[in-house]
Amino acid sequence: MKIVILEGSPNKNGSSNMLADRFRQGAKEAGHSVEMVDAAHADVHPCTGCIHCGYEGPCVQKDAIEEIRPKILGADMMVFVTPLYYYGMSAQLKTLIDRFCAFNSSIQRKHMKSALLAAAWNSDNWTFDALESHYKTLVRYLNLKDMGMVLGAGCGTPSMTRHSEFLQQAYMLGKRLK
């Protein structure tokens, strides 16, 4: 299976990217090909809502989405990776997802698999409620098949994450994929 990991953390060595790396290791060991897309540092502009794309055509903006789009559409699975910022995904990942507008139908027709990896400082039982709801809505709207979530509560720093069970959970999520 071809997997594309969409990393949305501006901190390249942060907790959410650590989860992504462990997921990648597990998935590669299981025989899958994995490509990482650094959505946080890519030159991706916000969707303007102009609808020039007609929801399934080229976008008028000429930026990194032209390289990212074929990676997504060539994959069998998308993995959304984000730190939890004010109880939602990072603006960088959200900006990329908003640009799906120009190829929603292509994603919907693929019936891709998906997963969510997230890290948060907070560890309250409601910490991930809004992000989890948003992810489930994306899964439903884009006709994705959810393969699982690793929600790293109490992973506010790399040190906290290294001493948590969440790195192993991310690894096993990747390793168990069929």
Distance CA 116, CA 136 (A): 10
Q: What is the mean pLDDT of residues 168-176?
A: 98
Per-residue pLDDT tens for 3-49?
Answer: 999 999 999 999 999 999 999 999 999 999 999 999 999 999 999 99
Distance CA 101, CA 96 (A): 10
Using only the alpha carbons of the chain, give its radius of gyration. Answer: 15
Q: What is the mean pLDDT of residues 115-133?
A: 97
Check: CB of residue 149 under 8 Å from CB of residue 116. Answer: yes
Please report, rounded to a whole number, the percentage of residues in the chain having pLDDT higher than 70.
100
Check: CB of residue 47 under 8 Å from CB of residue 98. Answer: yes
- Give Cα 164 to chain centroid, integer Å: 21
Crossing angle of helices 15-29 and 166-175, in 10° steps, is: 30
How many other C-beta atoms lie within 10 A of the C-beta of residue 5?
25
Check: CB of residue 7 under 8 Å from CB of residue 16. Answer: yes
Using the predicted structure, report yes or no on whether residue 55 has a pLDDT greater than 90: no
Q: What is the mean pLDDT of residues 44-70?
A: 93
CATH homologous superfamily for the domain 2-175: Flavodoxin domain (3.40.50.360)
pLDDT, averaged across the chain: 96
pTM score: 0.97
